Amino acid sequence: MKVFVHGVGVLGPGIENWNSCRTLFKEQRPYDDSVTPVPMPSILPANERRRSSEIVHWSLGVAQEAVHNSQLSPKDMAAVFASSGGEVGILHKICESLASPMPIVSPTLFHQSVHNAAAGYWSIASNSQRPSTSLACYDSSFGGGLLEAATLLATGQEELVLFAAYDVPAPFPLSETRPLIAPFAMAFVLGKQALPISLSLLHITLLSESMAKAPTTMIHPSLESLRLGNPAARGLPLLHTIANNQTTSVFLDFLDNLQLQIDHQPCRPCPD
C-alpha cells in the first residue's frame, strides 16, 4: 500500500514539535529528555480545553501540528486515532469514585471515558464530518493505526487521512499494570496523491513471521528506551527516516508474529 506523508506532528520528552524532532534526528542538537513539553491544542475552545483530559491535549496537539504543516483543511480528512491505553486518567478517576462508599460516575467523566473521546473532540474542533476510527492494539497500536490509515487510502475510500498515535502513563495505582516511560504522541497527514507539500512516499507491506527482519531501532539509548517504553513511540524510527530523507526500509514489529515493512522514499529534501 502506497501513501504520501503531507505533514507531521510530534510531541514527547525533549521533543517540542516536528521541527525540534528533525534537528534532533539530524544530530544538530543533543537529546535532552529532562523537559517534557506541555501540549497546547489551541484548536480546542478554551472551555473544552479546561474540561478535557491530558491525553486529549496530547493527541490534539500533534494532530493540529500535522494538519498545520500539511497546509490542508482538516475538514477533508478522515481520522484514525490509535492508542493502547486511551483515557487512562479518566478511567482512574472513575474507578476511584466507584470504589468509594458512595459510588458515582459523573456524566462528564463518563462521556470522556470512551476510547474515542480524543477523536470525538478532534472532529468537533476541526469540524470534520469524515469517518473517524479509534483503535487499540497494545504495543502494536502505532502499527494498527498505520494499517487502518493505509487501507482507508489504498481502497480508495478516502483521499486524506489524519493518523494520530498517542499514549500517556496512567496515574498510580493503575500505572502498575501498564508502566509507560513517558507521554508520547505523533501524527501524520497521509494522502493518496503526491502534493507539492509531500515529504515522503511510504510503501507499506505486512510481513508474515517467516519474512520478518530485525525491527528497526533507535541508536540513541534514551530514544530507544522511549521507543520501547510507549506504544506510540514505536513510530520513532520512521520519524528518524523521514527527518533524514533516507531511502530505506523501516521494520516495525506487529503483534507477536507479524511485521510491517515500510519502504521510505523522500519526495523532496526537508527544508533546514
Partner 1 sequence: MGRVKGLEEVSLKSSLSKFTCRNNQLAWLGLQQDGFENEIVAARQQYGAHRIGVLIGTSTAGILETEHAYQQKDPVTGRLPATFIPRGQYTQDAFSVAHFVRQYLELTGPAVVISTACSSSAKVFATASRYIEAGLCEAVVVGGVDSLCLTTLYGFAALQLTSPGPCRPCDATRDGLTLGEAAAFVLLEKSPRNGNSQTTALLGYGESSDAYHMSHPHPTGQGALLSMQASLDSSNLSTSDIDFIHLHGTATVANDQTEDRAVATMFQAHTPCSSTKGWTGHTLGAAGAVEVVLGDLCLQQGLLPGCLNTTNVDPSFSSHVLLENQERPIRYIMSNFFGFGGNNCTLILGKL
- Quick one: which segment of 4-12, 35-43, 159-167, 253-261 binds partner 1 (CB under 8 A)? 253-261
User: CA-to-CA distance for 172 and 159, rounded, in angstroms?
Assistant: 41
Residues 6+ apart with CB under 8 A from 238: 202, 250, 252, 262, 264
- Which three-class secondary structure string do you get for 197-229? CCCEEEEEEEECHHHCCCCCCCCCHHHHHHHHH
Residues 6+ apart with CB under 8 A from 96: none
Question: Quick one: which of 165, 180, 90 has its CA closest to 134?
Answer: 165
Question: Based on CB atoms, which residue is closest to partner 1, 136 or 201?
Answer: 136
Question: Based on CB atoms, which residue is closest to partner 1, 36 or 97?
Answer: 97
18 membership: H or E segment, kind and range: helix 18-25
- State which of residues 150, 165, 226, 239 lies at the interface with partner 1 (CB under 8 A): 150
CB of 252 closer than 8 Å to CB of 215: yes
Return the C-alpha cell found at 88.
487512562
The C-alpha torsion from 54 through 131 and 194 to 207, rounded to 10°, is: 80
Question: Based on CB atoms, which residue is closest to partner 1, 25 or 116?
Answer: 116
| 114 part of the interface to partner 1, by CB under 8 A | yes
Kindly state the smallest distance separating residue 246's Cβ from partner 1, in Å: 26
- State which of residues 43, 62, 94, 168 lies at the interface with partner 1 (CB under 8 A): 94
- State which of residues 17, 19, 36, 133 lies at the interface with partner 1 (CB under 8 A): 133
- State which of residues 117, 162, 189, 252 lies at the interface with partner 1 (CB under 8 A): 117
Bridge pairing between strands 200-207 and 258-266 = antiparallel
CB of 221 closer than 8 Å to CB of 184: no
| 136 part of the interface to partner 1, by CB under 8 A | yes
Kindly state the smallest distance separating residue 8's Cβ from partner 1, in Å: 23
Site string for partner 1, 203-232 (x = CB under 8 A): ---x-xx-----------------------
- State which of residues 30, 50, 177, 221 lies at the interface with partner 1 (CB under 8 A): 177
- Residue listed under C-alpha cell 473532540: 121
| 129 part of the interface to partner 1, by CB under 8 A | yes
| 102 part of the interface to partner 1, by CB under 8 A | no
3-state secondary structure of 255: coil
Q: Helix 54-70 vs helix 88-98: angle between axes, to the nearest 10 degrees?
A: 160
Question: Based on CB atoms, which residue is closest to partner 1, 27 or 110?
Answer: 110
| 261 part of the interface to partner 1, by CB under 8 A | no
Return residues touching partner 1 (CB under 8 A): 1, 78-79, 84-86, 91, 94-96, 98-99, 103-107, 109-117, 119-121, 123-124, 126-138, 141, 144, 147-148, 150-152, 154-155, 157, 172-174, 176-178, 206, 208-209, 254-255, 257-258
